[in-house]
Amino acid sequence: MTAVIAGGATTELRWRVNHVGSMLSTRARLEADVRTGLVASPPTLPPRWFYDERGSRLFDEITRLPEYYPTRRETEILAARANEIAIRSEASTLVELGSGTSAKTRLLLDALTAYAPDLLFVPLDVSVEVLTEAAVEIAGRYRDIAVDALVADFGDPLPPLPGDEGRRLVAFFGGTIGNFQTHERHAFLDRVRQAMAPGDHLLLGADLIKDPNRLLAAYDDSRGVTAEFNLNLIEVLTRELDGRGVRPNDFAHVARWNADKHRMEMWLRARCDIDAIFAAIDLPWVLPAGAEILTEISVKFDLGALHKELRAHGFAVTAGWMDRRGDYSLSLLRAI
């Protein structure tokens, strides 16, 4: 299903926002996720539900926190390498998965439009408000590019990618690749590769293994913005499913380093007995004080192992860059 939900033009169509994907409404999807997730062991909810309008704003705030280094590191690498990426990829289309505000992406758009002024930009995200804002902003700033924004879930099959085969660049920033479970990451890389043609490029940002104390600070900042972001999940659930008898303050944000799986884990721990009901779907929710829900994982990678995995998924490593401190990596990969 595709439906144009917003668009704007002066003399020609310069930006539009399309809905792509299953007929399942957001509500039905949330209901399914809650019904299966809350009885799983441990209870788990998919991270996409963080990103309502408030959650997207909170994430944007996270990216500017002194403790949250990934955004600054990725920006540093992009600033140094954008021109090289433009030359090597020869891209005439840029697809950005999980694009959010596309703030850093402007560095890449500057470089790409120097060679391809009439670039097609295809940001894809679940968060319609932030996506629309970014589409309008970017269409306004870059007068010759077309913005074809897609409201979609990158966990679903990808829509056919627009643009010329061999000249597409698919960017996946923010270390979001780390937010998948291992089997989900493999399935995701297969889907992305299948959607690409040989010669197309993937630009992948990945956070690297480092001192756990720095990781803990990045995911549990002193101002409590990350805690608020995590707790917003309860806000979304109670609003969308008419939750009664539960409030965000009934939970505490917990960030933990899992050394075995080299990943950060975000949990919500019940601070009291929860005896609630999601009235909209007639689902009771009982949780003893101290019980925890896993709301996000953020895998930290070894760059060699990541490149090996990418080769196994049909990509050749064109380049792998790190920031000066070696915190974060950006890899350019060619679909073969």
Residues in touch with ligand SAH (CB under 6 A): 47-48, 51, 56, 59, 63, 71, 98-100, 125-127, 153-155, 173-174, 176
Closest contact distance (angstroms) between CB of 62 and ligand TRP is: 5
Contact partner, 62, from ligand SAH, ligand TRP, none, Cβ < 5-8 Å per class: ligand TRP
> Binding of ligand TRP at residue 296 (CB under 6 A)?
yes
Residue 180 binding: pick among ligand TRP, ligand SAH, none (C-beta 5-8 Å cut-off by kind): none
Distances (CA, A) of 114 to 92, 101, 106: 11, 22, 12
Residue nearest to ligand SAH (CB): 174
Name the residue among 107, 99, 156 with its Cα closest to residue 131: 99
CA angle 197, 201, 207 (to 5 degrees): 135
Give whichever of 155 and 199 is closer to ligand TRP, judged by the CB atom: 155
Judged by CB under 6 A, the residue of 112, 246, 266, 293 near ligand TRP is 266
- What is the gyration radius of the CA atoms in the chain, in angstroms? 20
Judged by CB under 6 A, does residue 328 bind ligand TRP? no
The answer to whether 127 contacts ligand TRP (rule: CB under 6 A) is no
Is the CB of 86 or the CB of 158 nearer to ligand SAH?
158
* Closer by beta carbon to ligand TRP, 153 or else 296: 296
Residue 43 binds to ligand TRP (criterion: CB under 6 A): no
Shortest Cβ 152–ligand TRP spacing (Å): 17
Contacts 24+ apart (CB under 8 A), 182-189: 182/299, 184/155, 185/299, 186/309, 186/313, 188/154, 188/155, 189/309, 189/310, 189/313
Using CB under 6 A, pick the residue from 230, 232, 238, 329 that binds ligand TRP: 230
Question: What whole-number distance in Å separates Cα of residue 332 and Cα of residue 325?
Answer: 19
Q: Which residues, numbered 197-226, are part of the site for ligand TRP (CB under 6 A)?
A: 219, 226
171: contact with ligand TRP by CB under 6 A: no
Residue 219 interacts, among ligand TRP, ligand SAH, none and using kind-specific CB cut-offs from 5 to 8 Å, with ligand TRP
- Give the footprint of ligand TRP on this chain (CB under 6 A): 62, 70, 174-176, 178-179, 219, 226, 229-230, 266, 296, 298
